[in-house]
Amino acid sequence: MKKSFHRTDRVSAQLRRELGAIVHAMVREHALPSVSVSDVEVTRDLAHAKVFFTALQQERAKEALTGLRALVPEIRHELSRAVRMRHTPELHFVYDDSVDRGERIDTLLREIGDSDDVQDGADEDGDASGSASGS
């Protein structure tokens, strides 16, 4: 079965690779909180790119977003030098909270699992005492 790959998918993947390296360098150079580029979505006309990033420290995500938005012209310039495109897309940075949401869900599931273990232990104790008094 033949898979179809659209040009926007290929451009998104290339931009994600290049922006990952560029953003990493800019973050270190400007002493911003550590971030990584998780995804890039480009419009069909390749005029705009939405750059999703995750922050190593969730509490400093707003600081990172503010810093990245301030560095957009410099990042875009570096991107234009790294990627051969007729027009370099406008960059729009967006904090990707999917990792945070995933961790929250994982924590909730663990809490539910722990409370089930506690209840199972209580049920077993209850059954044992119930059958002893019934005999």
Per-residue pLDDT of 88-125, as tens digits, reads: 999 999 998 887 788 888 888 888 887 766 666 665 55
Alpha helices in the chain (DSSP H): 7-29, 61-70, 72-82, 98-134
Q: Using alpha carbons only, how large is the chain's radius of gyration in Å? A: 24
* Contact predicate 61/95, CB 8 Å: yes
- Does CATH number 2.120.10.80 belong to domain 1-96? no
Per-residue pLDDT of 34-93, as tens digits, reads: 899 999 999 999 999 999 999 888 888 899 999 999 999 999 999 999 988 889 999 999
Non-local (6+) Cβ contacts of 79 within 8 A are 15, 18, 19, 22, 88, 91
Domain boundary assignment for the chain: 1-96, 98-135
- DSSP letter assigned to residue 60: G
